[in-house]
Amino acid sequence: MPKTMSRKKTCAVCGKPSPQPAVRNAERHGSPDLDTRPPADVRFSIDTQVQKCPSCGYCFYDLAKGAPGAAETVNSETYRKQLGSASFPKLADSFLCWSLIEEQAGNFAGAGWACVYAAWVCDDAADFKRLYGNVSGTKMGERDEAAAAKLCRQKAVLLLKRARDEGQGFGAQAGAEEALMADLLRRIARFDSAAKMVKCGLEAKPIRVVETVLEYEQVLAGKGDIDVHTVAEAIKWKGELEGPATEAEKGQDATWQSE
């Protein structure tokens, strides 16, 4: 499990300092999901990916950095409503507020990724509830995290589509953007759109692991599958069709979407 520590950050919006969590050591074990969600041991540190000012509510990847128009966005009705929304886990709210900051600044790729992170938080909360039930015994525990995750993915799709329209890249490899979009669309049951995205991705002639993910997405969409699946599953599926991947290709499952 990653080790974390606190670092003092001064908010770029209100100027007040606060301790913020930071990862000191994180080792990856296991395969990421098809939407690049890291394996569980790394996801435990997802709270370090966004920082929230306890004074003014500014949420950003680094509180010391001010995005264009951040102060106005933080004080907007839309932002304040999202910041205190009971429809999402608190950490997901922070990511969604970060998304609003990025969207207002015109960084639609960053805004989309922040919504993807929010979806992962909701996924984990849904998994926890499925395993342990409403352990809090409160109305918060009655929240529908699966529905919240779907809303986050819907937001991500819209923002990432805008990013593509604006020429803002959000994938490190040819076909990686389409692979991410295909998974987001499939998870919200937009199977035809997912299949079209797969076709676009394959036309980009991606490296084998991305090609495998795209082809696997096509199979899953054809089955009407909205569940979570991993890159390792895709590679195993491909191996059963064509034979096992090389050691180099196996090593790509954790890095194909990295910057």
Q: Return per-residue pLDDT of the chain as tens, 259 residues.
A: 455 678 999 999 999 999 998 875 656 678 999 999 999 877 778 999 999 999 999 999 999 999 999 999 999 999 999 999 999 999 999 999 999 999 999 999 999 999 999 999 999 999 878 766 664 444 445 689 999 999 999 999 999 999 999 999 999 899 999 999 999 999 999 999 999 999 999 999 999 999 999 999 999 999 999 999 999 999 999 988 776 555 555 555 544 454 4
pTM of the predicted model, to two decimals? 0.88
Residue 258 confidence (pLDDT): 46
Residue 86 confidence (pLDDT): 95
Residue 137 confidence (pLDDT): 44
> What angle, rounded to 10 degrees, do the helices at 208-222 and 191-203 form?
160
Length of the chain as a residue count: 259
